[in-house]
Amino acid sequence: MSDIMLEGLRNPTVAEKAGPFFSDVVKDSGELLHSIHLTGSALTEDYDRKTSDINSVIVLKQMDLGFLEALAPKGRRYRKSSIASPLIMTPEYIQNSLDVFPIEFLNLRLCHHTVYGDHIFADIAIKREDLRLQCEREIRVKLIGLRQGYLSSMGEPDKLAEGFTSSITGYIPLLRGLIELTGTEPPLPSHEVIDVLSRSISVDCSVFMEVLNAKKAGFGKTALDTIFERYYKATEQVGKVVDDIKV
């Protein structure tokens, strides 16, 4: 356990839950292991010890299917501690994927804690043109998702509300990417992301905050059709902002 660096985490529960898993990985991987990194809500104030998963990235020096076969059976045991299946990467994969997944790697750069090995995500360079292109693509995908979600809810309020609250989590990494494009350092907590975005672009983003808050408190008697209209319109307007960004 001496090689595992979990000191100073914002949420001590994360260290308690994840420490044994990371120790197992280090013990079983030998020379194959490059590094291990915590990421996601486990590092922010969004973390809820009762409901939040603990996400991580394991970087191998080279891909090895035997490692995956050895790791897979541990899933059931550690799932009880809310340990999500880790992402498995190699340094070569990371370098070759920065142009394809700039939003994901930007968020890894912003929100990670190196548990073991090299700090590979600290200095990765994201090209502005790649980031803008993926932001544009993701906005269009979300607009399609909102339309399809509205139709598939068949007018049932519970299904519509569930669709809103499940979708907002996926907005946060995208909105961090947009904030980065405006030249501002993106914050980590979800509420701060929406607040900073509201001050960075000329779009009313208040509906994003309402949906985020509804994840815990629900929508109450709010008219969900009205929420949908505002949610869709705000997403559409954010897309227009992205379209107008010059790179």
Confidence of residue 78 (pLDDT cuts 50, 70, 90): very high
pTM of the full predicted structure? 0.92
pLDDT for 225 equals 87
What's the pLDDT tens digit per position in 201-232? 999 999 999 999 998 888 877 788 899 999 99
What's the pLDDT tens digit per position in 96-143? 999 999 999 999 999 999 999 999 999 999 999 999 999 999 999 999
Above 80 in pLDDT, residue 155? no
pLDDT for 1 equals 44
What's the pLDDT tens digit per position in 163-193? 999 999 999 999 999 999 999 999 999 999 9
pLDDT for 2 equals 52
What's the pLDDT tens digit per position in 19-76? 999 999 999 898 999 999 999 999 999 999 899 999 999 999 999 999 999 999 988 8
3-state secondary structure the chain: CCCCCCCCCCCHHHHHHHHHHHHHHHHHHHHHEEEEEEEHHHHCCCCCCCCCCEEEEEEECCCCHHHHHHHCCHHHHHHCCCECCCEEECHHHHHHHCCCCHHHHHHHHHCEEEEEECCCCCCCCCCHHHHHHHHHHHHHHHHHHHHHHHHHCCCCHHHHHHHHHHHHHHHHHHHHHHHHHCCCCCCCCHHHHHHHHHHHCCCCCHHHHHHHHHHHHCCCCCCHHHHHHHHHHHHHHHHHHHHHCCC
pLDDT for 26 equals 94
What superfamily in CATH does domain 12-117 come from?
A: Beta Polymerase, domain 2 (3.30.460.10)
